[in-house]
Structure 1
Amino acid sequence: MASYSHIFLATIVVIAFLGIVSAVDISVHVPLVTRENTDVIRVRGTIFCVKGNEWNKWIPLKGQIADVYCPLFETTSTTTDENGFFIVELPANRFDNDCRVYLDTFGHGEEDCIYRTNVNEGISGAPIVKSDENGIYQVGPFVYRTTPAEV
Protein backbone atom coordinates (compact mmCIF):
# COMPACT_ATOMS: atom_id res chain seq x y z
CA MET A 1 0.00 0.00 0.00
CA ALA A 2 2.86 2.35 0.78
CA SER A 3 4.33 2.00 -2.71
CA TYR A 4 1.05 3.08 -4.30
CA SER A 5 0.95 6.21 -2.16
CA HIS A 6 4.52 7.10 -3.22
CA ILE A 7 3.60 6.67 -6.89
CA PHE A 8 0.46 8.75 -6.40
CA LEU A 9 2.42 11.47 -4.60
CA ALA A 10 5.12 11.49 -7.31
CA THR A 11 2.44 11.79 -10.00
CA ILE A 12 0.86 14.77 -8.21
CA VAL A 13 4.26 16.49 -7.92
CA VAL A 14 5.01 15.98 -11.66
CA ILE A 15 1.57 17.29 -12.70
CA ALA A 16 1.96 20.34 -10.44
CA PHE A 17 5.44 21.03 -11.87
CA LEU A 18 4.14 20.79 -15.45
CA GLY A 19 1.30 23.14 -14.61
CA ILE A 20 3.70 25.76 -13.25
CA VAL A 21 6.05 25.47 -16.24
CA SER A 22 3.22 25.80 -18.77
CA ALA A 23 1.91 28.91 -17.00
CA VAL A 24 5.19 30.80 -17.46
CA ASP A 25 5.25 33.04 -20.54
CA ILE A 26 8.56 32.48 -22.31
CA SER A 27 7.72 34.33 -25.55
CA VAL A 28 10.44 36.60 -26.90
CA HIS A 29 10.18 39.42 -29.46
CA VAL A 30 12.56 38.58 -32.30
CA PRO A 31 13.66 41.63 -34.29
CA LEU A 32 13.44 41.65 -38.07
CA VAL A 33 17.21 42.10 -38.35
CA THR A 34 19.49 39.87 -36.32
CA ARG A 35 22.74 40.03 -38.29
CA GLU A 36 25.85 40.76 -36.26
CA ASN A 37 28.28 43.56 -37.10
CA THR A 38 25.58 45.63 -38.77
CA ASP A 39 25.41 49.18 -37.47
CA VAL A 40 22.84 50.52 -39.91
CA ILE A 41 19.94 49.37 -42.04
CA ARG A 42 19.61 50.97 -45.46
CA VAL A 43 16.12 51.60 -46.79
CA ARG A 44 15.59 52.76 -50.37
CA GLY A 45 12.62 53.82 -52.41
CA THR A 46 11.39 56.13 -55.14
CA ILE A 47 8.80 58.89 -55.31
CA PHE A 48 7.04 59.89 -58.53
CA CYS A 49 4.55 62.45 -59.81
CA VAL A 50 1.49 61.55 -61.87
CA LYS A 51 -0.01 64.50 -63.74
CA GLY A 52 -3.77 64.43 -63.92
CA ASN A 53 -4.92 60.94 -64.87
CA GLU A 54 -1.79 59.98 -66.83
CA TRP A 55 -1.07 56.90 -64.72
CA ASN A 56 1.13 55.45 -67.47
CA LYS A 57 3.61 58.35 -67.09
CA TRP A 58 5.40 58.43 -63.74
CA ILE A 59 7.77 61.40 -63.45
CA PRO A 60 10.56 61.18 -60.82
CA LEU A 61 10.19 63.85 -58.11
CA LYS A 62 13.37 65.62 -57.04
CA GLY A 63 13.46 67.13 -53.55
CA GLN A 64 10.51 65.16 -52.20
CA ILE A 65 10.59 64.03 -48.55
CA ALA A 66 9.97 60.55 -47.17
CA ASP A 67 9.50 60.16 -43.41
CA VAL A 68 10.61 57.00 -41.61
CA TYR A 69 9.00 56.14 -38.30
CA CYS A 70 10.13 53.36 -35.96
CA PRO A 71 8.65 53.12 -32.46
CA LEU A 72 12.13 52.67 -30.94
CA PHE A 73 13.50 56.01 -32.17
CA GLU A 74 12.37 59.39 -33.41
CA THR A 75 11.13 60.00 -36.93
CA THR A 76 13.81 60.62 -39.52
CA SER A 77 13.44 62.08 -42.99
CA THR A 78 15.25 61.88 -46.30
CA THR A 79 15.03 63.73 -49.62
CA THR A 80 14.87 62.33 -53.15
CA ASP A 81 17.49 62.99 -55.81
CA GLU A 82 16.85 64.01 -59.45
CA ASN A 83 15.67 60.44 -60.22
CA GLY A 84 13.12 60.42 -57.40
CA PHE A 85 15.36 57.99 -55.50
CA PHE A 86 16.00 58.11 -51.76
CA ILE A 87 18.02 56.05 -49.32
CA VAL A 88 18.02 56.42 -45.56
CA GLU A 89 20.15 54.76 -42.92
CA LEU A 90 18.54 53.63 -39.68
CA PRO A 91 20.22 52.32 -36.53
CA ALA A 92 20.07 48.52 -36.74
CA ASN A 93 19.67 48.07 -33.01
CA ARG A 94 16.41 50.03 -33.10
CA PHE A 95 14.93 48.63 -36.30
CA ASP A 96 12.01 46.20 -36.08
CA ASN A 97 8.85 45.02 -37.84
CA ASP A 98 6.93 48.12 -36.76
CA CYS A 99 9.04 50.58 -38.81
CA ARG A 100 7.10 52.35 -41.57
CA VAL A 101 7.81 54.85 -44.36
CA TYR A 102 5.34 57.65 -45.11
CA LEU A 103 5.08 60.32 -47.76
CA ASP A 104 5.61 63.75 -46.22
CA THR A 105 2.35 65.63 -45.68
CA PHE A 106 3.26 68.40 -48.10
CA GLY A 107 4.64 68.01 -51.60
CA HIS A 108 8.11 69.53 -51.83
CA GLY A 109 9.08 68.44 -55.33
CA GLU A 110 7.42 69.92 -58.40
CA GLU A 111 5.20 72.84 -57.49
CA ASP A 112 2.02 71.36 -58.93
CA CYS A 113 2.55 67.76 -57.73
CA ILE A 114 1.45 68.22 -54.12
CA TYR A 115 -1.29 65.65 -53.48
CA ARG A 116 -0.24 62.44 -51.73
CA THR A 117 -1.67 59.08 -52.77
CA ASN A 118 -1.78 55.82 -50.87
CA VAL A 119 -0.11 53.94 -53.71
CA ASN A 120 2.05 51.31 -51.98
CA GLU A 121 0.84 52.61 -48.61
CA GLY A 122 2.51 56.01 -48.91
CA ILE A 123 -0.10 57.64 -46.65
CA SER A 124 -0.99 54.76 -44.33
CA GLY A 125 2.64 53.74 -43.82
CA ALA A 126 4.56 51.24 -45.94
CA PRO A 127 6.19 48.32 -44.14
CA ILE A 128 9.90 47.97 -44.83
CA VAL A 129 10.75 44.69 -46.57
CA LYS A 130 14.12 43.14 -47.29
CA SER A 131 14.87 43.08 -50.98
CA ASP A 132 18.36 41.71 -51.56
CA GLU A 133 21.24 39.75 -50.11
CA ASN A 134 23.18 42.92 -49.28
CA GLY A 135 20.79 43.88 -46.50
CA ILE A 136 19.14 46.68 -48.47
CA TYR A 137 15.45 47.13 -47.65
CA GLN A 138 12.84 48.44 -50.08
CA VAL A 139 9.62 50.49 -49.97
CA GLY A 140 7.39 52.06 -52.61
CA PRO A 141 7.41 53.35 -55.20
CA PHE A 142 5.27 56.18 -53.89
CA VAL A 143 3.19 58.67 -55.88
CA TYR A 144 2.07 62.29 -55.60
CA ARG A 145 -0.49 63.75 -58.02
CA THR A 146 -1.19 67.15 -59.52
CA THR A 147 -4.90 66.77 -58.73
CA PRO A 148 -6.60 65.63 -55.53
CA ALA A 149 -7.81 62.05 -55.38
CA GLU A 150 -11.35 61.55 -56.60
CA VAL A 151 -13.82 60.73 -53.85
Structure 2
Amino acid sequence: MSKRRAIYYEEQPNLKKLVFELLKKSKQKIILFYDDMDQFEEFMDLLSFKSLMKHMIYSADKLNHELYSFKSSKICLVFREDIVEMMNAQANNLNKQITDSKVEISWFDTAYSEPWEHPLMQMILYKIKKVSQIIQRIWKKSIQKCLIEMYLSF
Protein backbone atom coordinates (compact mmCIF):
# COMPACT_ATOMS: atom_id res chain seq x y z
CA MET A 1 0.00 0.00 0.00
CA SER A 2 1.51 3.32 -1.01
CA LYS A 3 0.69 6.69 0.40
CA ARG A 4 -0.34 9.38 -2.09
CA ARG A 5 -0.42 13.08 -1.34
CA ALA A 6 -3.84 14.60 -2.16
CA ILE A 7 -4.14 17.01 -5.06
CA TYR A 8 -5.27 20.41 -3.78
CA TYR A 9 -8.67 20.35 -5.48
CA GLU A 10 -9.44 16.98 -3.88
CA GLU A 11 -9.14 18.70 -0.50
CA GLN A 12 -11.46 21.59 -1.47
CA PRO A 13 -14.62 20.10 0.11
CA ASN A 14 -12.80 19.52 3.42
CA LEU A 15 -11.29 23.01 3.34
CA LYS A 16 -14.68 24.57 2.60
CA LYS A 17 -16.28 22.63 5.46
CA LEU A 18 -13.52 23.76 7.85
CA VAL A 19 -13.80 27.42 6.80
CA PHE A 20 -17.59 27.37 7.20
CA GLU A 21 -17.26 25.81 10.66
CA LEU A 22 -14.84 28.57 11.67
CA LEU A 23 -17.19 31.21 10.28
CA LYS A 24 -20.06 29.79 12.37
CA LYS A 25 -17.96 30.24 15.50
CA SER A 26 -16.73 33.70 14.52
CA LYS A 27 -18.32 36.83 15.92
CA GLN A 28 -16.93 38.91 13.04
CA LYS A 29 -18.04 39.65 9.52
CA ILE A 30 -15.30 38.43 7.18
CA ILE A 31 -14.54 40.06 3.83
CA LEU A 32 -11.89 38.38 1.72
CA PHE A 33 -10.40 40.54 -1.03
CA TYR A 34 -8.72 39.09 -4.10
CA ASP A 35 -6.60 41.82 -5.67
CA ASP A 36 -3.86 41.91 -8.33
CA MET A 37 -5.49 39.11 -10.28
CA ASP A 38 -4.53 40.94 -13.46
CA GLN A 39 -0.97 39.75 -12.81
CA PHE A 40 -2.02 36.25 -13.89
CA GLU A 41 -2.24 37.70 -17.40
CA GLU A 42 1.57 37.85 -17.44
CA PHE A 43 1.95 34.11 -16.84
CA MET A 44 -0.68 32.57 -19.11
CA ASP A 45 -2.17 32.93 -22.54
CA LEU A 46 -5.15 35.26 -22.97
CA LEU A 47 -7.71 32.48 -23.39
CA SER A 48 -6.63 30.79 -20.14
CA PHE A 49 -6.59 34.13 -18.34
CA LYS A 50 -10.16 34.93 -19.47
CA SER A 51 -11.30 31.49 -18.40
CA LEU A 52 -9.68 31.87 -14.97
CA MET A 53 -11.25 35.30 -14.42
CA LYS A 54 -14.67 34.07 -15.56
CA HIS A 55 -14.52 31.10 -13.19
CA MET A 56 -13.32 33.34 -10.34
CA ILE A 57 -16.40 35.55 -10.85
CA TYR A 58 -18.82 32.61 -10.96
CA SER A 59 -17.18 30.94 -7.95
CA ALA A 60 -17.17 34.10 -5.85
CA ASP A 61 -20.82 34.72 -6.73
CA LYS A 62 -21.78 31.18 -5.73
CA LEU A 63 -19.76 31.30 -2.51
CA ASN A 64 -21.13 34.73 -1.61
CA HIS A 65 -24.66 33.27 -1.58
CA GLU A 66 -23.46 30.65 0.90
CA LEU A 67 -21.35 33.08 2.95
CA TYR A 68 -24.13 35.63 3.39
CA SER A 69 -25.61 33.65 6.30
CA PHE A 70 -22.34 34.16 8.22
CA LYS A 71 -22.85 37.78 9.30
CA SER A 72 -22.95 38.90 5.65
CA SER A 73 -19.39 37.70 5.03
CA LYS A 74 -18.29 37.80 1.41
CA ILE A 75 -15.59 37.53 -1.20
CA CYS A 76 -14.67 40.66 -3.15
CA LEU A 77 -12.82 40.46 -6.44
CA VAL A 78 -10.83 43.51 -7.50
CA PHE A 79 -10.49 44.02 -11.25
CA ARG A 80 -9.18 46.78 -13.47
CA GLU A 81 -11.91 48.34 -15.63
CA ASP A 82 -10.34 47.10 -18.88
CA ILE A 83 -10.52 43.50 -17.64
CA VAL A 84 -14.18 43.94 -16.64
CA GLU A 85 -14.93 45.29 -20.13
CA MET A 86 -13.05 42.41 -21.75
CA MET A 87 -14.98 39.88 -19.63
CA ASN A 88 -18.34 41.47 -20.43
CA ALA A 89 -17.54 41.40 -24.14
CA GLN A 90 -16.71 37.69 -23.93
CA ALA A 91 -19.62 36.45 -21.81
CA ASN A 92 -22.87 38.39 -21.63
CA ASN A 93 -24.15 36.29 -18.75
CA LEU A 94 -21.32 37.62 -16.54
CA ASN A 95 -22.87 41.07 -16.70
CA LYS A 96 -25.35 40.28 -13.92
CA GLN A 97 -22.68 39.07 -11.49
CA ILE A 98 -20.45 42.03 -12.24
CA THR A 99 -23.00 44.84 -12.24
CA ASP A 100 -25.05 43.59 -9.27
CA SER A 101 -22.21 44.17 -6.87
CA LYS A 102 -19.85 46.45 -8.76
CA VAL A 103 -18.10 49.30 -7.00
CA GLU A 104 -15.97 51.63 -9.09
CA ILE A 105 -13.00 53.37 -7.56
CA SER A 106 -11.99 56.59 -9.20
CA TRP A 107 -8.35 57.03 -8.25
CA PHE A 108 -8.01 60.31 -10.11
CA ASP A 109 -11.09 62.44 -9.73
CA THR A 110 -11.12 65.42 -12.06
CA ALA A 111 -13.06 67.48 -9.49
CA TYR A 112 -9.73 68.34 -7.85
CA SER A 113 -7.60 70.96 -9.57
CA GLU A 114 -4.37 69.68 -8.02
CA PRO A 115 -3.37 66.03 -7.39
CA TRP A 116 -2.57 66.68 -3.71
CA GLU A 117 -6.17 67.83 -3.11
CA HIS A 118 -7.55 64.32 -3.79
CA PRO A 119 -8.60 62.53 -0.53
CA LEU A 120 -6.37 59.55 -1.29
CA MET A 121 -3.35 61.80 -1.74
CA GLN A 122 -4.33 63.74 1.40
CA MET A 123 -4.19 60.49 3.38
CA ILE A 124 -0.80 59.54 1.90
CA LEU A 125 0.65 62.99 2.59
CA TYR A 126 -0.70 62.91 6.15
CA LYS A 127 1.01 59.54 6.75
CA ILE A 128 4.28 60.89 5.32
CA LYS A 129 4.02 63.97 7.55
CA LYS A 130 3.39 61.84 10.66
CA VAL A 131 6.31 59.54 9.88
CA SER A 132 8.57 62.54 9.23
CA GLN A 133 7.67 64.04 12.62
CA ILE A 134 8.33 60.73 14.34
CA ILE A 135 11.69 60.32 12.59
CA GLN A 136 12.72 63.84 13.59
CA ARG A 137 11.78 63.17 17.24
CA ILE A 138 13.69 59.93 17.48
CA TRP A 139 16.55 60.63 15.10
CA LYS A 140 19.22 59.94 17.69
CA LYS A 141 17.75 56.64 18.83
CA SER A 142 18.85 53.32 17.42
CA ILE A 143 17.34 52.13 14.15
CA GLN A 144 15.57 49.32 15.97
CA LYS A 145 13.89 51.71 18.42
CA CYS A 146 13.05 54.05 15.54
CA LEU A 147 11.29 51.29 13.59
CA ILE A 148 9.41 50.08 16.65
CA GLU A 149 8.17 53.58 17.47
CA MET A 150 7.15 54.21 13.86
CA TYR A 151 5.23 50.92 13.77
CA LEU A 152 3.43 51.57 17.06
CA SER A 153 2.40 55.10 16.07
CA PHE A 154 0.07 53.89 13.29
Q: TM-score range by the shorter chain?
A: under 0.3
Q: Per chain length, whose mean CA-contact separation is higher, i.e. which structure has more relative contact order (CA < 8 Å, sep 6+)? A: 1
TM-score (norm 2): 0.19
Q: Which has the higher helix share?
A: 2
TM-score (norm 1): 0.19
Bigger-Rg structure (1/2)? 1
Q: Which has the higher strand share?
A: 1
